[in-house]
Amino acid sequence: MAVICRLSQARSRTCGGKTPPEASVSADPWVVLRQKIASAIGGRGNAAAFERMSGGRFKRKTLQSWIDGSTSPTVAELAALASYAERDLSDFLPSGSPISSPQNLTVVPMMDVRASAGPGASADVVRAVDQIELPRSFLRKIGGEGARLECLRASGSSMTPTIQDGALLILDRNRRPPPFKPQPRKAARRPQAQDEIYVFYQGADVRLKRLRHLPHDLMAIISDNLADYPIEIIEPGKEGAFEVMGAVVWWDNRL
């Protein structure tokens, strides 16, 4: 990015062409992270310009607080920042830091299909076409031990405002909707946990919806955008091919 080049040239003039002291790698990984965020946006003073460049996705005060160390970005925010700054997520990890070592990163395959948050997207064969490296601690937090994680993209508007068109999804292939369980009368009056979001095959389509098992072997297919996509009730065993790929355990509408 041009603004980063200008920053580098200014530092060279200030320090007589030598590497400035603040560019040296600190033993504290959080200090290194703050330095790398500052470098990515062109310096603390360029936060307002970066806010405009990102279309308001990154607020000036938020960027400055990350650089000052008063707050810290989440993994998702750091990944989004890397994307806008045209850098890899690994660029923000300090050399020699435990979080940047290969044994603490896990490769997650990116599948070549978009899960349709709408009527459905046809897919003859679903295969991995790319991969993403993410911190193992983050993946363990969202998926738990034994999770089989894959990445894919959402398509359509039926899951808005929760999941928007083009959102990055992480799917756990080992999770399935819980079976129908009749509730006692008292329990039925209590608030129920919201239905999880799943990616599933229905016929030749790959779909993205909330699923809920119902009595008599029925299944409810539920969109978050109910104004445009009413609830569907199906009988999976009798209405063509139906197979749950897995549960959506994480998503980001900004990546």
Q: What is the model's pTM? A: 0.56
Place of tokens 């923000």: 92
Q: State the Cα–Cα distance between residues 213 and 93, nearest whole angstrom.
A: 43
Of residues 7 and 241, more confidence is placed in 241
State the amino acid at position 32 in one-letter form.
V
pLDDT at 180: 65
- Residues 135-145, mean pLDDT to the nearest whole number: 81
pLDDT band for 46, please (50, 70, 90 cuts): confident
| pLDDT-above-70 percentage for the chain | 68
Would you call 65 helix, strand, or coil by DSSP? helix
What is 104-252's CATH topology? Umud Fragment, subunit A (2.10.109)
Distance CA(241)–CA(171), nearest Å, equals: 20
pLDDT at residue 161, as a whole number: 92
* CATH 2.10.109.10 in the chain, residue ranges: 104-252
Note the pLDDT tens digit of each residue in 205-215. Answer: 889 999 988 88
Assign domain 2-100 to its CATH architecture.
Orthogonal Bundle (1.10)
Distances in Å between the Cα of 92 and the Cα atoms of 14, 30, 81, 115 are: 25, 10, 10, 30
**Beta bridge pairs of residue 132:** 108
Residues carrying CATH 1.10.260.40, the chain: 2-100
- Structural tokens at position 103: 């044994």
Which is higher by pLDDT, 29 or 9?
29
